[in-house]
Homo-oligomer: A and B are copies of this chain.
């Protein structure tokens, strides 16, 4: 009744069902362990709650629809988004308490724990943007399964105080921890997950698929201030929000300018992606700079991102052989590192700041190569970019 390929898909689906049940069961005792010992005051939790919902918009509607730009791959893009979010949120919440953190942060009765999990999911969504369209749904889930603990370890390196001294690494909204890590993880994966044929196959888009991508982009733009302000003290939220918005204004304007200057026409994919570069780059120092500087950082970030899409990406692809479907290296990689390096000028110990950036990039690339290799063992799609592979598609 089912083909061999379908049987394989079903076997993997059953495996992931067992994993999901195991996560649920393993979580049962967790409330007692990390429960009500220290609960944040209601208002604090409530303010973070709003941010947590806003970040959910970024995850499912933002990243999800931004990846719908691949014409014949919309169903898979959005389904993969749903699946990796649904896997990584509980997985992170299960493992994080065993790694580090005070119960004031990671108790399941505080929204902060949810926010940490959402950051992990965001970084994962960035990571799958690299090999997007060239793996199947089981492989997205496998990547999610392997990425999440690795991400948690990198977070532990940067912020637990066990490796880098506590407070020495400045990365308020995750330029490095979330964006650069996800992008360089993708960088590693695609080296292992690109076939020769794919290097010559360009991504097909359509008017409607690009408009959905712009919708995803708008969702990310709009709720980015909540991403940056999620974990800052309440009295810093206004400055952080305004800095974030001005950085995004800056990158939006310079994206347009450099798209026009370099290409002679506007590329809608530049607008959808590079407009957000200001949000990525401002992440590390968003609570430490003033609005004017935020706008200038955004202007630079947008420029770098467009230069990435137009000039750097083709060369990098030739050099490494890896095809970066969404260009996550342009949007999250270089600008994330930029954000981390801007902080070098603002921290007490510039060397630790540099070290944090370098460790993250290397760790991400190495782990990405490893995970990419493991993932490639599950087989490769024959035809890239087509929903027909795994979905019931009528036409």
Which residues of A are at the interface with B, using a C-beta cutoff of 8 A? 1-3, 6, 9-10, 13-14, 16-17, 20-21, 23-31, 39, 42-43, 45-47, 49-50, 52-54, 56-57, 60-61, 64-65, 68, 74-75, 78-79, 82-83, 85-87, 89-90, 93, 108-111, 113-114, 137, 205-208, 210-212, 214-215, 218-219, 221-223, 225-226, 229, 234-235, 237-239, 241-242, 245-246, 248-250, 252-254, 256-257, 260-261, 263-268, 271, 275, 290-293, 295-296, 299, 390-395
Contacts and interface: CB of A to CB of B under 8 A. Distances in A.
Contacts of A49: 225, 229, 237-238, 241
A221 B89 CA distance: 14
Contact of A20 (B39, B87, B253, B293): B253
B30 A291 contact: yes
A14 B257 contact: yes
A296 B65 contact: no
B210 A28 contact: no
Given A20-B299, A114-B242, A268-B392, A291 B237 contact: no
A61 B218 CA distance: 6
Contacts of A17: 253-254, 257, 299
A90 B251 CA distance: 12
Contacts of A237: 42, 45-46, 49
A205 B394 contact: yes
Given A86-B249, A253-B16, A293-B28, A392 B110 contact: no
A39 B86 CA distance: 39
Given A108-B239, A295-B24, A253 B61 contact: no
Given A295-B23, A392-B263, A226 B53 contact: yes
B245 A292 contact: no
A256 B13 contact: yes
Contacts of A254: 17, 20
Contact of A78 (B108, B214, B245): B214
A211 B214 contact: no
Give the most central of A14, A60, A249: most B CB within 10 Å.
A249
9 contacts: A20-B295, A24-B250, A25-B296, A28-B292, A28-B293, A75-B266, A205-B394, A207-B395, A208-B211
Contact of A210 (B10, B75, B246): B75
A130 to B, nearest CB: 22
